[in-house]
Each structure stands twice: as structure tokens, then as C-alpha cells.
Amino acid sequence: MTCTNEQSKLAEEILARISSDLSMIMDREFRIADVTCDIAEERAAGRNKVHISFKLGFHDKDGGVKHGCILVPLPEAISLACFLMMVPDDGVTSKRAETGLDESIKDAMVEVANFIGGAADAAMREALGLELKVRSEGCQGVRPDVRPALVYTDGDPLVISTAQATIHEYPAFDLVAIIPSLVA
């Protein structure tokens, strides 16, 4: 099912803010384009490779929490972490091929998760005026074609947005945002 205009706007604003904030922090361009938005009743999976799920909690004023995440392929998540640590471009290129993460990369990914949570929170408040607080709930590796772990009841509507994203000069990749249905 296709998203409403409000749901599409919400997803686009969150992704745009994440892109803008991370670009500024990394001093490298992180571009988001061609955002598509659909309503689904199950979580989307990252296709064909390991992904990092940057988990988000959407807290309402009554204490309720809904959950979502941003799925980023492992090489791109490593790039975000490395650029955050100010690793030179050639070092980032060599790290992208690794599948085992050292403690410094893991710590940097947690920081990336915090920036993603802050960006989503700012988008909700500033651009959309919704009375929700968005907080990072950490990050987690997800095997290829496996849906990320979330506190979620199957059948509840989710806004699934897919975008073409690029980081610095690396090839484009699919970024997937799984956002609870917050607006009609």
C-alpha cells in the first residue's frame, strides 16, 4: 500500500535530516535521493548483505514507545564510523572490506546511532511539529535478507522507505528506513 503524503513527508524529512547532520559531522557528503515510501505489515530486510540496524525509539508524551530503524549495508556503516573518527580516505577504503569490527569501529557506530537518533528527533520536532521524542536505541548487525529485531507486533502498519544513498565517492546503495506509522 502506498504512503499518504504526510507519511512520505515524514520519511523524507527524517532521511534528509540524517543526511545533512552526518554530512556536516563527517565532513563528507552523504546524499539521499529517490525516496520511495510504502506501508507494510512486516519489517523490511536488508538485501543480499549484512546490514547495520540503527535502532530508534519514538516516545510519545504519554510514555508510549514505538520502534523503528535505519538499515545501512555494513561497508557503508563502516564508512560512516570511520569518517566520524576522521580516518583518512584510503584507510576508510581498506576498512570497508572488513567483516570483523574492532572496538573503535563498534564505539564509533554507537556514536553514529546517536547522531541518527538526534537527527530523527530534530526532524520530528522542527520540520513536522510532532510531539514525539526520538532516541537512539543502539545498533545491531543483521544477516543478509533477515528482518531486523524490533519491538513490534506483526500486522501493525510500518512506513518502509527506501532511498538511493551515497557516501563520499563510494557507490550508491539502498538505505532502508523502517518507521512506525505515526501520522495518517
Q: What confidence tier does 128 reach under pLDDT thresholds 50, 70, 90?
A: low
**pLDDT tens, position by position, 29-77:** 999 999 999 999 899 999 999 999 999 999 988 888 999 999 999 999 9
Q: What confidence tier does 127 reach under pLDDT thresholds 50, 70, 90?
A: low
Nearest alpha carbon to residue 46 among 183, 176, 149, 156? 176
Domain count for the chain? 1
Which element (helix H / strand E) includes 15?
Answer: helix 5-26
Place of cell 536505541: 137
SS3 label, residue 159: strand
Mean pLDDT calculated for residue range 1-7:
87
- CB-based contact 42:147 (threshold 8 Å): yes
pLDDT at 184 over 60: no
Q: What pLDDT is recorded for position 66?
A: 93
Which amino acid is present at 108?
A
Quick one: residue 163, left, alpha or beta (phi over 0 = left, psi -120 to 50 = alpha)?
A: beta
Q: What confidence tier does 108 reach under pLDDT thresholds 50, 70, 90?
A: very high
CA-based end-to-end distance of the chain: 13
**Structural domain boundaries, residue 172:** 5-180
Q: What is the CATH number of the domain that holds 126?
A: 3.40.1550.10
